[in-house]
Amino acid sequence: MPIDGFDTQISWSGFTKVTTKPRNFDGDAYTYATFQSDVKPARGEGKTIVVKSADVAVRLNARQSWAVDGKLTDDLLTHEQGHYNITALGAREFYTALLKLKAKDPKSLGDAIQDLNDKWEKKIDTLNKRYDEKTDHSKVKAEQEKWNKAIAAEKQKADGSLDNLPQ
């Protein structure tokens, strides 16, 4: 798979332990997962510049991911895995869109890549917020189970999409 880290299973060891949650946070943990890309452009037909290949990696940032010590339950870790998996799904969709980019020159291609990156980061952020709202940070068990199943199903599909996750 071209997405490094797509199937990573996170653990509490990847989180900074805190005694109390930061202000303005409702949950007992926060997952900061990101994706990065390394793009190799090439000449396409005529003077068109295309993405010849790309490497995309999903990572958990342990410095910015935190969990309240004493609240480290399996249910909460499963919820946090959902945040990571949402990022992974978005990264895969970003990768697919990246390989379709074309531009008239290298600068235009770079701008298009940045715009695409920004679009997917925003979509992932929006979905992560909805996920927390609907599941109340894992506390609404039936809703959490619905999301767990939907996320797992989309990860299994080669063309799985964030758009198919619960509304």
Distance separating alpha carbons of residues 108 and 104, to the nearest angstrom: 6
The pLDDT tens digits for 87-129 are 999 999 999 999 999 999 989 999 999 999 999 999 999 999 9
The pLDDT tens digits for 54-94 are 999 999 999 999 999 999 999 999 999 999 999 999 999 99
The pLDDT tens digits for 141-167 are 999 999 999 999 999 999 999 999 999
Copy the structure tokens of residue 145.
């189970």
Element (H, E) at 41: strand 33-43
Q: Please give the DSSP secondary-structure letter assigned to residue 9.
A: P
* Count of the separate structural domains present in the chain: 1
Q: What is the number of alpha carbons within 13 Å of residue 116 lying toward its C-beta?
A: 24
Among candidate residues 37, 30, 167, the one with its CA nearest the CA of residue 93: 37
The residue range of the domain holding 69 is 3-164
